[in-house]
Chain A
Amino acid sequence: MAVLTTKVQRDSEAFGRNREGMLELLGAVEAELERTRAGGGERYLERHRRRGKLLARERIELLLDRDAPFLELMPFAAWHTDFHVGASVVAGIGVVEGVECMLVANDPTIRGGAANPSTWRKVFRALDIAVENRLPTISLVESGGADLPNQAELFVPGGEHFRSLTRLSAARIPTIALVFGNSTAGGAYIPAVCDYTVFVKERAKVFLGGPPLVKMATGEVSEDEELGGAEMHARVSGLADYMALDEHDALRLGRQIVRRLNWRKLGPGPSEPADEPVHDPEDLLGLVSVDVRQPYDPREVIARVADGSRFDEFKPLYGTSLVAGWASLHGFPVGVLANAKGILFSEESQKAAQFIQLANKIDTPLVFVQNTTGYMVGREYEQAGIIKDGAKMINAVANSTVPHLTLMAGASYGAGNYGMSGRAYRPRFVIAWPHYRSAVMGPQQLAGVMSIVARASAHDRGIDYDEERDRALREQIETQIESESRALENSGRLYDDGIIDPRDTRAVLGIALSACHSQVVEGTDRFGVFRM
């Protein structure tokens, strides 16, 4: 087994500059995380605490095994929208009684935990992750339901929530609802469709219609507790399987339920030594430029992420713009595909298509390290069949059934995003570094293309081209694309599952891989027709 060496010079000017740039970006990311933790703001946190309630993350922390990791997913959902960053809900993978679970917790300090369109997208993605990776799912419920002014965008799609939960149950993936407060109207179905329910005494409120609605509908005068209190549901309706005395008791009961799930993971689990990399992950801040136009050697990244910095490269002499090879991460064997010089040529495409098939033959998960400007263009390449070769790679990626983890580690432009298992190719997880850029093409290229097309159109129509206007338009387009391609922008749209500190890459990929191993890890022989 080969142990990677390094050429990184920590005392170089570039290293220092890179590190400074990355730390600055991390500062901006941390500022956004800070906003997620601040929930609905000091006033609402205070009010919530005054009621003797725990915050969403405090509930999660108490539910988790002590000292076990917790990977919060999609913390930047709804960034740059009208809604709170984080989308009023906390989701993530954590360990409860030794079982990796998907946890989804409403943040009741933000508009009473009411759902907005971003909330739904985040929750549905979390439930997708749960079903794909076979993760028992615990919902920590306290939500006023749909944000009514946005009902048009919420009502119809919202049904997916209950559908997903019942489908988890049907797939023999346990679902648990811990109800800490409001879970009314449509929200009442959340606990109802879960396998196990715990209601907090004098706090949980679960009914289809509250007293005002009942009064309007039937004229009956009623009170909250008799319509949907924990006591009533535990003793009368049977909707509550357990009545908790308080929030701590509910979390204790949640843990007790998981302990009795008799849970077995279906993946083979780690099989390799899980020693730390030989090279210091701290270097990851300095070896990559925040300017994605500056290439770097992805082996330097692998050397700081893989177990013992061990990496056995496949086809090292062929298609050298794409690095392929075998490694392990926290003991889980993986195949790695990483862009080296950005551009994907025919050779790289073929190499990738072959490697993906090999990984499927041996049931080995794949890690894609994206830093690509796309497939090569030009007469020579088109005539040599770059489209056919790109299609082979896309065919392989699309039909591969081993878990894919995608690391956004630089540029992600054009069809390169697809070929390297971008979001649309359903990798199990997309993990991103704070400097990554993703768009159909680079801002300058896109603006330039638009300008050329406009100029040609003007010429065809025989009108003079307004150079002044062209320059302004190019600038405007460039700025727009520049902005839209930023990491936080993409993360806000849930094109990734979260931006992380590059130094945490090993930990985060390890948590993700371990989650994948909750499910069967199995490759396929069934691919589409490879156009020869």
Chain B
Amino acid sequence: MSQRPIAKLLVANRGEIARRVFRTCRELGIATVAVFSDPDAEAPFVREADEAVALGGPAPGESYLRAEKIVEAARRTGADAVHPGYGFLAENAGFARACADAGVTFVGPPPDAIEAMGSKIEANARMERAAVPTLPSVDVTGLDGEPLAAAADEVGWPLMTKPSAGGGGKGMRVVRSREALAGAVAGARREAAAAFGDDALMLERLLERPRHVEIQVFGDATGRVVHLFERECSIQRRHQKIVEECPSPAVDLDLRDRMGAAAVDAGEALGYVGAGTVEFLLGPHGDFYFLEMNTRLQVEHPVTELVTGLDLVALGLRVAEGAPLPPEALEPRLEGHAIEARLYAEDPERDFLPTVGHLTRFAVPGAVRVDSGVEDGSEIGVHYDPMLAKVIAHAPTREAAARRLAHALAAAELHGPRTNRDLLVRVLRHPEFLAGETDTHFLERHPPAELGAPLTDASGERLHAAAAALAGQAERRAYAPVLATVPSGYRNNPSQLQETVFEGPCGALTVGYRLGGGGRLTLRVDGSELEDPVVHAAEPGGVDLEVGGVRRRYRVARAGGTAHVDSALGHSSLRELERFPAAATEDSPGSLTSPMHGAVLRVHADAGDSVERGTVVMVLEAMKMEHEILAPATGKVAELRVGEGEQVEAGTVLAVIEEDGEG
């Protein structure tokens, strides 16, 4: 194949992966083009590209999935290549063909390889032909009723639904009984149709307590396929990876050779070019089964980069240009251990519901790699995946990498929507994780609600509240229009303390303080005095406070009515209560409120209907996930406040159920 250098690359993606590809482009001297949807207009990746083209509306279907618009953007900007990133059109053979037809290089495998692997059914068949071990599975597209159940029996129980078209956990449901089958399949088809525009579905046998181990492969135009070791991605929530590492603690040299060889066989069978990942389920006895092949760069590619020293984006561009794989890729080295953690805007204590809002501060300190799509001031919206960043640590040993990563995450300043940071830190410090006992059920054995609870305990939160109050005080004094140099809160006849009331995860906290001369201080939290407090410095952005002989620096950032405090004790987001609260508005009893921002997908009840406890009143959709709103008690639907298709904010009253026996 003739070589065709890339001069200008369009990235048909957004967020961190767009920034990641642009970074390599800058190093290689390749001009960059971003495409973006309306909500991403101000995003860092758009700004960092040399040129940018707007695609349109917020929904992926109106923007990042519009192949023809992206090809048109490449034409307008004169881009000679398109990098699809991951997700969106990355595994869409039609898009790859459209690029080729437009004379634009598609950075990825040939369209038929995408097609073959894009259909799980086809993929399994091909793998079986290439003698790669596979799990029993069956195509149930279009099947219902008894034929569906029979197909399931053939696969064996328990099993899992898998949309033929997609990945990322969407449309994947565990089914343990025949009774649950029909409902699960219907739901999976709906999700698959919404996410991928295709409801083709297969059933696959579910391996209990498996590990998820994948092999990174790379092919070039000369027909050469190599593997770049494994990645273990067993720590998952809702079937999505959150912690990934290389090497896997469960893979020894022999197993690595066997799995690597199987993956290379798979790649060769496909005539694979570019970056690809062959995912396996690894059983407890070194038995492994082909899961799927991702014909693109993986989210977790950085762990491979750190242990091999290779730039996988650069490699992908190189082979896309028609060049052969370089020697360092043919003879890759594996040095040390790398672990990646995915930071999500989500609430682990509420079933990982995505969170939204203004991320006023995003900073991850320490000797770690941070691949992020966000920065200080980013808006976390409802339209896309809520991943904020990937944080990756590389160290000589697994233990050292885990420790470094946990420390960096623990020290990160993340001000805004709730994140899974505390959960990640607890996972990375968990004895089982450190012992290498990772499997895909880790977060079922260790409930996310516990692992994800705030790292800062109640006593830390009290100190954080005290620090936030003192910083607020400093800010008010700094901006005082008169008497700014007179001591803060000076009273010649002091009758009470200055007070600030916060609402934190542990409840309301009232901080009372009086500053005397020379750093002397009376400091009370909820009526009890802190021990020997000394203020060494108090500024709007931070407080140097000593309590009980321990001096700590508390960083305080105020955003809206919330004070974000970061210190050695952890992090607290404390909402300051109004000094003159407005008259309280209370929800009527029996109100069903929206747990999150989203859209009403279906309403299953009418006003006046009688409902049993647990009846699905309506279904919300957010982040492509369906959330059922259940009747909390048996009664009557007194009010229905929203209709299908309506957008709702978190906390919106959706309906009011009048409990039987009331009124």
Task: Tell me whether A160 is interfacial, beta carbon within 8 Å.
Answer: no
Task: Tell me whether A147 is interfacial, beta carbon within 8 Å.
Answer: no
Of A123-131, A406-414, A475-483, A499-507, the one contacting chain B is A499-507
Q: When chains A and B are docked, how far (Å) is the Cα of A501 from the Cα of B487?
A: 14
CB-based contact A98/B480 at 8 Å: yes
Residues of B close to A281: CB separation below 8 A = 517
CB-based contact A58/B498 at 8 Å: no
CB-based contact B487/A69 at 8 Å: yes
A66-B476, A70-B491 as given contacts; A282 in contact with B483, CB under 8 Å: no
A58-B496, A282-B517 as given contacts; A70 in contact with B476, CB under 8 Å: no
CB-based contact B496/A245 at 8 Å: no
Q: When chains A and B are docked, how far (Å) is the Cα of A300 from the Cα of B491?
A: 25
Q: Which residue of B lies closest to A97 (CB)?
A: B481
Q: When chains A and B are docked, how far (Å) is the Cα of A98 from the Cα of B483?
A: 9
Task: Tell me whether A61 is interfacial, beta carbon within 8 Å.
Answer: yes
What class of interface size applies to chain A in its complex with B? 35 or more
Task: Tell me whether B435 is interfacial, beta carbon within 8 Å.
Answer: no
Task: Tell me whether A111 is interfacial, beta carbon within 8 Å.
Answer: no
Q: When chains A and B are docked, how far (Å) is the Cα of A501 from the Cα of B481?
A: 26
CB-based contact B482/A98 at 8 Å: yes
Residues of A close to B493: CB separation below 8 A = 33, 36-37, 72, 75
Q: When chains A and B are docked, how far (Å) is the Cα of A331 from the Cα of B491?
A: 20
Of A247-255, A415-423, A465-473, A523-531, the one contacting chain B is A247-255
Residues in B498-537 with C-beta less than 8 Å from chain A: 498, 500, 517-518
Q: When chains A and B are docked, how far (Å) is the Cα of A52 from the Cα of B4?
A: 82
CB-based contact B486/A65 at 8 Å: no
A507-B487, A511-B483 as given contacts; A67 in contact with B476, CB under 8 Å: yes
Residues of B close to A249: CB separation below 8 A = 580
CB-based contact A67/B489 at 8 Å: yes
CB distance from B29 to the nearest CB of A (A): 54
CB-based contact A67/B482 at 8 Å: no
Q: When chains A and B are docked, how far (Å) is the Cα of A170 from the Cα of B140?
A: 89
Task: Tell me whether B634 is interfacial, beta carbon within 8 Å.
Answer: no
CB distance from B457 to the nearest CB of A (A): 28
CB distance from A251 to the nearest CB of B (A): 7
CB-based contact B480/A61 at 8 Å: no
Q: Which residue of B lies closest to A501 (CB)?
A: B492
Task: Tell me whether B583 is interfacial, beta carbon within 8 Å.
Answer: yes
CB-based contact A37/B489 at 8 Å: no
Residues in A76-119 with C-beta less than 8 Å from chain B: 95, 98-100
CB distance from A482 to the nearest CB of B (A): 26
Task: Tell me whether B488 is interfacial, beta carbon within 8 Å.
Answer: yes
Contact with A along B581-592 (1 / 0, CB 8 A): 101000000000
Contact with B along A27-68 (1 / 0, CB 8 A): 000000100110000000000000000010110011001111
CB-based contact B485/A330 at 8 Å: yes
CB-based contact A66/B498 at 8 Å: yes
CB-based contact B580/A248 at 8 Å: yes
Residues of B close to A98: CB separation below 8 A = 480-482
Residues of A close to B241: CB separation below 8 A = none
A67-B476, A95-B482 as given contacts; A498 in contact with B492, CB under 8 Å: yes
Residues of A close to B445: CB separation below 8 A = none
Q: Looking at B489, B491, B493, B580, which has the most chain A CB atoms within 10 Å of its CB?
A: B493
CB-based contact A67/B498 at 8 Å: yes
Q: When chains A and B are docked, how far (Å) is the Cα of A42 from the Cα of B579?
A: 27
Q: When chains A and B are docked, how far (Å) is the Cα of A481 from the Cα of B172?
A: 96
Q: Which residue of A lies closest to B583 (CB)?
A: A245
CB-based contact B485/A67 at 8 Å: no
CB-based contact B488/A67 at 8 Å: yes
CB-based contact B473/A510 at 8 Å: no
Q: When chains A and B are docked, how far (Å) is the Cα of A498 from the Cα of B492?
A: 9
CB-based contact B580/A57 at 8 Å: no
Residues of B close to A498: CB separation below 8 A = 492
CB-based contact A331/B476 at 8 Å: no
Partner of B495, one of A61, A248, A265, A514: A61
Q: Which residue of A lies closest to B516 (CB)?
A: A503
CB-based contact B482/A252 at 8 Å: no
CB-based contact B579/A72 at 8 Å: no
Partner of B489, one of A58, A69, A251, A504: A69
Residues in B297-315 with C-beta less than 8 Å from chain A: none
Q: When chains A and B are docked, how far (Å) is the Cα of A68 from the Cα of B479?
A: 11
Residues of B close to A508: CB separation below 8 A = 492
Task: Tell me whether A274 is interfacial, beta carbon within 8 Å.
Answer: yes
A66-B473, A66-B579, A511-B486 as given contacts; A95 in contact with B480, CB under 8 Å: yes
CB distance from A22 to the nearest CB of B (A): 16
CB distance from B481 to the nearest CB of A (A): 4
Residues of A close to B496: CB separation below 8 A = 57-58, 61
Q: When chains A and B are docked, how far (Å) is the Cα of A65 from the Cα of B492?
A: 16
Partner of B486, one of A69, A72, A500: A69
Residues of B close to A66: CB separation below 8 A = 473, 476, 489, 498, 500, 579
CB distance from A250 to the nearest CB of B (A): 10
Residues of B close to A67: CB separation below 8 A = 473, 476-477, 480, 488-489, 498
CB-based contact A57/B492 at 8 Å: no
CB-based contact A68/B517 at 8 Å: no
Residues of A close to B498: CB separation below 8 A = 66-67
Task: Tell me whether A71 is interfacial, beta carbon within 8 Å.
Answer: yes
Residues of B close to A71: CB separation below 8 A = 490, 492
CB-based contact B579/A62 at 8 Å: yes
Residues of A close to B581: CB separation below 8 A = 248
Q: Which residue of B lies closest to A273 (CB)?
A: B485
Residues of B close to A504: CB separation below 8 A = 490, 492
Residues of B close to A99: CB separation below 8 A = 482
CB-based contact A72/B483 at 8 Å: no
Q: When chains A and B are docked, how far (Å) is the Cα of A249 from the Cα of B579?
A: 10
Contact with B along A508-521 (1 / 0, CB 8 A): 10110010000000
Q: When chains A and B are docked, how far (Å) is the Cα of A508 from the Cα of B483?
A: 11
CB distance from A257 to the nearest CB of B (A): 14
Residues of B close to A68: CB separation below 8 A = 476, 480, 482-483, 489
Q: When chains A and B are docked, how far (Å) is the Cα of A281 from the Cα of B518?
A: 10
CB-based contact A510/B482 at 8 Å: no
Q: When chains A and B are docked, how far (Å) is the Cα of A98 from the Cα of B487?
A: 16
CB-based contact B486/A510 at 8 Å: yes
Q: When chains A and B are docked, how far (Å) is the Cα of A245 from the Cα of B487?
A: 34
A65-B480, A67-B498, A95-B482 as given contacts; A72 in contact with B517, CB under 8 Å: no
Residues in A455-501 with C-beta less than 8 Å from chain B: 498, 500-501
A95-B480, A98-B481, A503-B517 as given contacts; A69 in contact with B490, CB under 8 Å: yes
CB distance from A99 to the nearest CB of B (A): 8
Q: When chains A and B are docked, how far (Å) is the Cα of A504 from the Cα of B489?
A: 13
CB distance from A31 to the nearest CB of B (A): 12
Contact with A along B194-210 (1 / 0, CB 8 A): 00000000000000000
- 10 contacts across the A-B interface (CB closer than 8 A): A61-B495, A65-B480, A66-B473, A66-B500, A69-B486, A69-B490, A70-B491, A75-B492, A248-B580, A507-B487
Given contacts A66-B498, A72-B492, A514-B486, 13 further A-B contacts (CB under 8 A): A57-B495, A69-B490, A95-B480, A248-B580, A251-B580, A252-B580, A270-B485, A282-B518, A498-B492, A500-B492, A504-B490, A508-B492, A510-B485
